Chain A
């Protein structure tokens, strides 16, 4: 069964460092998303990406964050200068032919900023 794959599963970084979280969405999907979940809190929307550009972003997704689809298979989230409060699980998701189709999530990358 096709699935969304995320790497690494766990990343530890020092405050102020840049991190790149990687995702391989389901192959025929066209919409891509990043969500995050701070420990003990709700899953929160960060950004959606369609047709090689950001479709929508939340107020959390400030200038420190960027997304890219560098080739036909990968989708990345970059955090330029990490803060302690960026520590969270980051989930990539993808959906098919339209935004109104089901979104499938990856297993997540646990980011720990020390």
Chain B
């Protein structure tokens, strides 16, 4: 079983839709969870950072972590064409520097 699994997509939605992006993981030691956005041939841009379980909201973005199910989600409300990018989940255990990334989900928002 892969340490972090993420559906590669592509996910194609109309402008204004609510988008749900997900990752599952196998390592119960993960405690820090991040979502990054990556445009083609660019660096990952941090969107959300959460510790342990729970929800966090920032503007149109909501991150959810369910440690009991080993499942994290990113919701994007009122999606815009500019949201079209690859979304990477990443996570880390407490006593390590190493971020483990998912493969990324490619999102396309069409006008």
For B94, give its contact among A43, A45, A100 (CB under 8 Å). Answer: A100
Q: What residues of B have a CB within 8 angstroms of the CB of A103 in the complex?
A: 34, 46, 99
A-B interface, 10 closest residue pairs, ranked by CB to CB distance from nearest: A48-B97, A105-B43, A43-B101, A45-B98, A107-B43, A56-B97, A105-B44, A102-B49, A108-B43, A42-B101
Q: What residues of A have a CB within 8 angstroms of the CB of B99 in the complex?
A: 35, 43, 45, 103
Q: Which residues 43-89 of A have a CB within 8 angstroms of B?
A: 43-45, 48, 50, 55-56, 58, 89
What interface size band does chain A fall in? 20 to 34
Asked whether B57 is an interface residue with its Cβ less than 8 Å from the other chain, the reply is no
Q: A104 with B46: in contact, given A33-B97, A43-B88 (CB under 8 Å)?
A: yes
Interface of A is mostly: strand
Q: A44 with B43: in contact, given A100-B32, A102-B34, A105-B36 (CB under 8 Å)?
A: no
Whether A48 pairs with B98 at a CB distance below 8 angstroms is yes
Asked whether B45 is an interface residue with its Cβ less than 8 Å from the other chain, the reply is yes
Q: Which residues 49-74 of B have a CB within 8 angstroms of A?
A: 49, 51
Question: Which chain A residue lies CB-closest to B34?
Answer: A102
Binding site for A on B (CB under 8 A): 32, 34, 36, 41-46, 49, 51, 88, 90, 94, 96-104
When chains A and B are docked, how far (Å) is the Cα of A100 from the Cα of B96? 9
When chains A and B are docked, how far (Å) is the Cα of A102 from the Cα of B96? 13
Whether B97 pairs with A43 at a CB distance below 8 angstroms is no
B80 nearest CB across to chain A (Å): 20
Query: How would residues 28 to 43 of chain A score, 1 for a CB under 8 Å from any chain B CB and 0 otherwise?
Result: 0001010100000111
Q: What residues of B have a CB within 8 angstroms of the CB of A44 in the complex?
A: 101
Asked whether A22 is an interface residue with its Cβ less than 8 Å from the other chain, the reply is no
